[in-house]
Chains A and B, each alone.
Chain A
Amino acid sequence: MMTLYVHRQSWLHRQPAGLKLLVLMATSIALYALTSLWTAGAALIAVILAYRSLGSAGWSYLWVVKPLLPMFILIFVVQTWSQSVSAAVLMLLRMLTLIWLANLVTLTTRMDAMMDAVMPLLAPLRRVGVAPHRIAFTVALFVRFVPVLMAVLNSLLEAWKSRGGGRAVWRLAIPMLINAIRMSDHVAQALAARGGVRSPETPVSMVQPQ
């Protein structure tokens, strides 16, 4: 299963997903009230220390920000230039704290737990005719399609290379998309043949053929 979740037994894992999301939201607001470098620095250190509860390799997960480093440098330079060094440091401290804290929630919360926490928020959609189990079905199908499409792309890339390759690799987007659309048509037909997306409350025998 593709997810950033890390399976461990830590006190953070034991907290309910909804609580973690609420704390994250509250922190994101509170961080902007911090104007002193000391308190912002303390918040950052607290978050870094919390990664330690993921075990001895916990701090290695801090590398999640690696792809953002060039951007951080750019922002730092621009901010120093247009305001001051302390303003630039404060902004970086806040940004790192929030990114790492949000990532910590992701690392310690199972995807299905996260989804269960969010589902009640989607319940009002039932009034406009969107049943939660249809959303859950679409999410599951999406998660299943990702590795399938990646395999399609890989096989097209390999065929392209074996035919000599070349620079116009973008052309593969066309067979890729046509393949994908054909596949989704087959899935939709198979779904219709089995009576469509069922609500968990409806027993199989109650499904009317369409």
Chain B
Amino acid sequence: MKDQALVQMALYAALVAALGLIPPVPFVTGIPITAQTLGVMLAGVMLGPWRGFLSMLLFAGVVALGAPLLSGGRGGLGVFASPTAGFIIGFPVAALVAGYVARLLQRQSILIAAGVGAFVGGILVLYVFGILGFKLVTGSEWLRSVQVMAVYVPGDTIKVVLTALVAQAVYKGLPGAVATRQA
């Protein structure tokens, strides 16, 4: 792997951390949403599947080492024992799938490719991990776990739209920065 790829992976991992700085906005459902998954979706769409995966693995790994980089200043090993552990563990796979889908759709407009990629990776895949983690940590039933996690879906839908808009705008400004558009 080239040196430039290492720098890019470090950058997107740091982007997810910086997005955690934006104070969580209590959304309609009353559950605060954070901007961090926006960074996960962007990492997949912008870096492509493999680099996106490694970049989010780097983020999750450094959080595990004790860096307080999750929204609200959370971090350390305790995070991986909490009910939302599945989401953090799912970050790398979510970026991988988002990048893969966006690359599959590169003949479509970037708005559609990035949007669908972010939806499949950042919502479908990430929620499988999130719900599985919640179920394992709390021992709840499937249906209960799905119900509890469903409160986050509206906020994440907004982030899918944002990912598509941001990817489109960045593609206009810096076409070379969107790895899923060059085969």
Contacts and interface: CB of A to CB of B under 8 A. Distances in A.
Nearest to B21: A150
A95 B11 contact: no
A65 B84 CA distance: 12
Interface residues of A, number: 63
Interface in B156-183: 162, 165-166, 169-170, 173-174, 177
Given A4-B67, A111-B65, A196-B3, A138 B77 contact: no
A49 B170 CA distance: 52
A146 B17 contact: yes
A141 B10 contact: yes
Nearest to A137: B6
Contacts of A191: 3-4, 7
A28 interface: yes
Nearest to A72: B83
Contacts of A143: 62, 67
A11 interface: no
A46 interface: no
A181 B170 contact: yes
Given A138-B9, A142-B14, A106 B72 contact: no
Contacts of A188: 3-4, 7-8
Interface of A: 2-5, 24, 28, 64-65, 67-68, 71, 74-75, 78-79, 82, 91, 95, 98-100, 102-103, 105-107, 109, 111, 114-115, 118, 129-130, 134, 137-139, 141-143, 145-146, 148-150, 152-153, 170, 173-174, 177-178, 180-184, 187-188, 191-192, 196-197
